[in-house]
Structure 1
Amino acid sequence: MKVLVTGAKGQVGTDMVLCLELHPIQYQVFGYGRPDLDITDVIQVAKTFEQVKPDVVIHTAAYTQVDLAETDRDRAHAVNAIGTRNLVVEAEKIDAKFVYLSTDYVFDGQKETPYSESDRTNPQSVYGKSKRAGEEFVLSLSSKHFIVRTSWVYGKYGANFVKTMLKLEHEGKALNVVDDQFGSPTYTVDLAHLLQQLIDTECYGIYHVTNSGSCSWYEFAKKIFEVAGKQVQINPCTTADFSRPAPRPAYAVLEHEGIKLNGFQDLRPWQEGLEDFLSN
């Protein structure tokens, strides 16, 4: 099975490539980072598909600078929406399966119970709207798609909340962390393994994929330092205490109906994923 991975140098993409490369008999992996493939370039995308002729496309490349997107709207839309459309069109021409990595930001965060795959989307930020536009292109143009929404992702490759907390710990100052935003921390390795399972099936549709359980950012930070064996003073604060350009969903916990109804094993608790990550 030929698998083309976009964003292969990014946080999820790197672990996705590594995960597939553990099975060289089963998969032939073609990983493309931004320097190798500009997904906003229609001609370059077409040439790449002509050369590789993938059976599966796992699209993890994205514009992810949430706050900058508020003023860089055109670029965010070009990458997350138009770039996705370019890839989907070429994938459909050759009957390839298409995996689109999406986000909890497609929801407004106003619910008090986990969002299911069938809940109405209502993105509040430019980033969220651009990712939802990408979803809509996948839904309308691909006959073999997996739309995978995830949240609070961290891993070995790239910047993330866990690394930021550990870096700030070295400064020896008290930390203020918001305690009124809730979600599910998701380890990239666990996410990649579930994506691998998906592409071996024809169980197409929308999936919510995060580690099990939920917490606030404050609770997440406390657990990071507890597992790392660090003594840090952490103070809970509110979202209103931080002035940021892009609105964040206050409640972004995702229900895993797609995983359960299609017979996949749910991801382990987020605490176990964090312990595994820090131990490695």
Structure 2
Amino acid sequence: MVYLDVLLLTNFLLAYFLLLAAGALSGQRAPFGRMLAGSGVAALSALILFVPEQPYPVQTAYKLATAVAATAAAFGWQNRRRLLTAACWYAALNIALAGLVLLVLLGTGTQLLDTANLTVYLHISPLLLLVLSGVCCAGVELAMRLFARRELPSKTQGLEFELCGQPIRLRAALDTGCHLKDPITCLPVLLVSYPDARARLPGAVCGFLDSWFAGQAQADPPPGVRLRLVPCGTAAEKSLLPGFAVPGISLITENGVLGLGRSAVVFAPRSFGSAAYEALYGSDFL
């Protein structure tokens, strides 16, 4: 005998903790209200237990679709990549838990379980399920804290260049994944965060970059400045970043200014998230 209220309650509690674990694994935290909404969607998805047995592809598609729906209700649709990551973790946790339950079922022949359409119903008290789900979530949180990568301190360098006749001084940090090159000279370029460095740039440059990042790609560059468009590919997207040819980029040292022979800077539309530097350079830049 399957009781509908117990089914919905136990799946609601289970989904809540699985969403917490999926959020931790994907680096996201949802507000409490959205977590309740996601758990509610997941609980309702368990009603397929009362539907006649479906073909395996249909069962799999339903589980994946409901995983996306539950994680979207919890974490939102704004960042599709992060949503897909959370949905995959949530589906993986569900499938792993169901696999363990089925393993117990096949190995012991216990009658405490009912299964249908990849949905598992456990005849246990909601309190016990709450404790077990909390233990699972706490295990994920503990593993994330124990195995979290500690970021090494970023060593920064002072760099100087001239733009529109105005000297610009910035702090730059090494990023070994930065391989952007000037398409004209094929030399490495300095990647500058426009939001972080905006206050130090000439007004004409800021006006052009504001227009460019607002989608007005036909905006004219400042007079006397040579525009550079540098292809940039990341895991999330590919784009053309605007930049400028400069007379030269120099390294500021204790003994003076040392020319590096680099002649272009490129601007990114996002902040690098650090107050210690406004620019990035690759391992082949210095």
Which has the larger helix fraction? 2
Q: What TM-score comes out, normalization by structure 1 length?
A: 0.21
Q: What TM-score comes out, normalization by structure 2 length?
A: 0.21
Tell me which of the two structures has the higher relative contact order, counting C-alpha pairs closer than 8 angstroms and 6 or more residues apart: 1
Which has the larger strand fraction? 2
